Amino acid sequence: MSRIQSSPSFLPPGTAPSEGAAAPAVVPPPTRTAQCRPASAVASSTAEPYRGPSLGRPPALSVPGPRSGPRTGADNQFDFGVGGAFPPRPTGNLMEQVRQGALTAAQSEAAAASRLMGDGAAVDGYARIHLDHLKPSPPILGAPTSLTDYTSSIPDVAPAQAYAYFVRHPSAVFEAAGIRVRPATAALVDGAKLFLEETGFPPVWAPITVRLEPGANTLHITTLDGHPLRGTNRFVFAEDGAGGTQVRQYSAFQGSSPATSVGMTLMDPIERQHDIWRAVHAHLHDTLRPR
């Protein structure tokens, strides 16, 4: 994969790079559907600090529900480029790293329990109570940050329609990548806090919060305390100039605790991230593109 020479230290004061993070898990080597484009073709991530909930209403569009059948995204032109500091290293002072590591461990225990208990009101109720105490954990300004820029296309689909589908069907979007949303969520709302449950081993609950910009067809995901990674993901659904949508996803992340370094040694969480987002982009393409 190509690398972009980019560093958040060049960002203006008071801003943070947009990015997101996926929980580490053990998975077999991924089958790549596309090659990384050269560094010159990849844009740098822009700053998107978390903002509190707003009162924006979801777009009043008629969008299809999830479809069954293969979801490969074979012709969605999925591509990505990486830059910044790899591999991600833990950031923050020692006390902060210990706090984040303790929360990660507690959430892993809850994830293991949820796998045994299955779906139910008790698991969702515990998830809601725990999420209430977690605060956003974006990248720390000035610290080395890993950057990834993902892109894909959805021909003959308007940006507002693609954005609305993601907001209205988050469970289907993430389940395409083997991720379960906890507590069960019918649709995303601005300011929502959720766990993304890795269904592989080890079990992980990765907490996130969501910020919606319906007027800009943009969705922000920011990690919460206890996520194995600090970061944000910014999904921008834009016109491609040919009647379709270009999906642009800006990702930036750092380690949150020493558990990050352990995970990098024992697993391959970066490749798992690429697999997750490849599957998400493929699902959007295969579900929305007219057949």
* pLDDT 10s digits, 39-60: 334 344 443 333 334 434 444 4
For the chain, the structural domain boundaries read 79-288
Q: Which amino acid is at 69?
A: G
More confident residue, 17 or 190: 190
Answer yes or no: are the C-beta atoms of 56 and 190 closer than 8 Å.
Answer: yes
Query: Going by C-beta distance under 8 Å and a sequence separation of 6 or more, which residues neighbour residue 39?
Result: 2, 3, 4, 5, 81, 83
Mean pLDDT (the chain) is 77
Strand partners of residue 236: 218, 248
- Two tokens, residue 159: 């940006």
Report the pLDDT value the prediction gives residue 121, as an integer from 0 to 100.
Answer: 81
Please name which of 233, 274, 199 lies closest in space to residue 32, comparing C-alpha atoms: 274
**pLDDT tens per residue, range 266-288:** 456 778 888 999 999 999 999 99
Residue-wise pLDDT for 135-152, tens only, equals 999 999 999 999 999 999
* pLDDT confidence bin for 205, thresholds 50/70/90: confident
The predicted pLDDT at position 130 comes to 87
pLDDT greater at residue 127 or residue 159: 159
Residue 246: strand pairing partners? 153, 238
pLDDT of amino acid 106: 82
pLDDT per residue as tens digits for the range 3-14: 444 434 333 334
Q: Is 222 exposed, middle or buried (0-12, 13-18, 19+ CB in 10 A)?
A: buried
Residue 222 CA to residue 230 CA, distance in Å, equals: 8
Tokens 């569009």 belong to 61
Torsion sign (Cα): 26, 282, 180, 261: positive
The C-alpha atoms of residue 278 and residue 73 are separated, in whole angstroms, by 8
Stated length of the chain = 291
Low-confidence winner among 41-45, 82-86, 123-127 (lowest mean pLDDT): 41-45
Closest CA to 227 of 193, 269, 248, 255: 255
For 267, residues 6+ apart whose C-beta sits below 8 A from its C-beta are: 24, 25, 26
